[in-house]
């Protein structure tokens, strides 16, 4: 009887089954998952960018350091040639025989600085850095902008001056100057050569 009355009542709606929340996807969970994925992707992109920038900066600094050291090495090599040239000119002023202060038995391997006046004579001089055979353990020092072997702070550079007979035997010398240094354990070398002639004779 009661059911019949309810059926007549148009506003009556039969009770509906509630859908289990466990079966219904959660919009909140999906949004949360997308947010985490976006954060991970953003962190990856930013990290990759930072690593790239740092790598570029490191490479630029390394390249600038190498360019600076190569420029110093070029200066030291040219200075080495000028040292030998000055010794040759001093021989003429002393009217000494050709090469008597430079090399008498080829090849000769020397180290010298701006105070050197002879490779073979005045070896006990306390003023000039004379008569020193090359050693890879003798590093140039810098003192007031001048490179030498006795005073100032040690540098990373060594200088080897090799004297050989030149293209005109007995009247010329071949001068080869090699500058050695290391950067981060990697060895580098700069080399310069020139022939000197006995045009005074």
What pTM did the predictor assign?
A: 0.74
So what's the pLDDT on residue 178? 98
Domain residue spans of the chain: 46-197
- With tokens 């030149």, the residue in question is 166
Model confidence at 127: pLDDT above 60: yes
So what's the pLDDT on residue 18? 55
Q: Which of the four pLDDT bands, split at 50, 70 and 90, describes residue 184? A: confident
| Range of 34-48, 120-134, 183-197 with top mean pLDDT | 183-197
Query: Could you report the per-residue pLDDT of 16-44, keeping only the tens digit for each?
Result: 555 555 445 555 555 656 678 777 877 88
Average pLDDT over residues 68-94: 95
Contact 158, 181 (CB under 8 A): yes
So what's the pLDDT on residue 66? 92
């Amino acid at each position: 009887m009661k059911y019949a009355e309810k059926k007549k009542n148009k506003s009556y709606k039969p009770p509906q089954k509630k859908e289990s929340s466990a079966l219904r996807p959660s919009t909140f969970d999906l949004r949360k998952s997308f947010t985490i994925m976006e954060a991970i992707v953003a962190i990856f992109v930013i990290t990759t960018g930072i690593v790239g920038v740092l790598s570029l900066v490191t490479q630029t600094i390394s390249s600038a350091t190498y360019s600076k050291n190569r420029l110093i090495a070029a200066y030291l090599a040219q200075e080495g040639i000028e040292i030998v040239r000055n010794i040759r000119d001093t021989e003429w002023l002393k009217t000494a025989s050709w090469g008597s202060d430079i090399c008498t038995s080829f090849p000769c391997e020397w180290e010298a600085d701006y105070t050197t006046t002879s490779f073979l004579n005045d070896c006990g001089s306390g003023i000039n850095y004379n008569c020193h055979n090359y050693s890879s353990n003798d590093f140039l020092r810098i003192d007031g902008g001048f490179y030498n072997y006795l005073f100032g702070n040690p540098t990373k550079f060594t200088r080897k001056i090799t004297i050989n007979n030149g293209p005109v035997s007995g009247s010329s010398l071949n001068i080869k100057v090699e500058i050695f240094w290391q950067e981060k354990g990697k060895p580098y070398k700069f080399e310069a050569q020139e022939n000197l002639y006995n045009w005074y004779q």
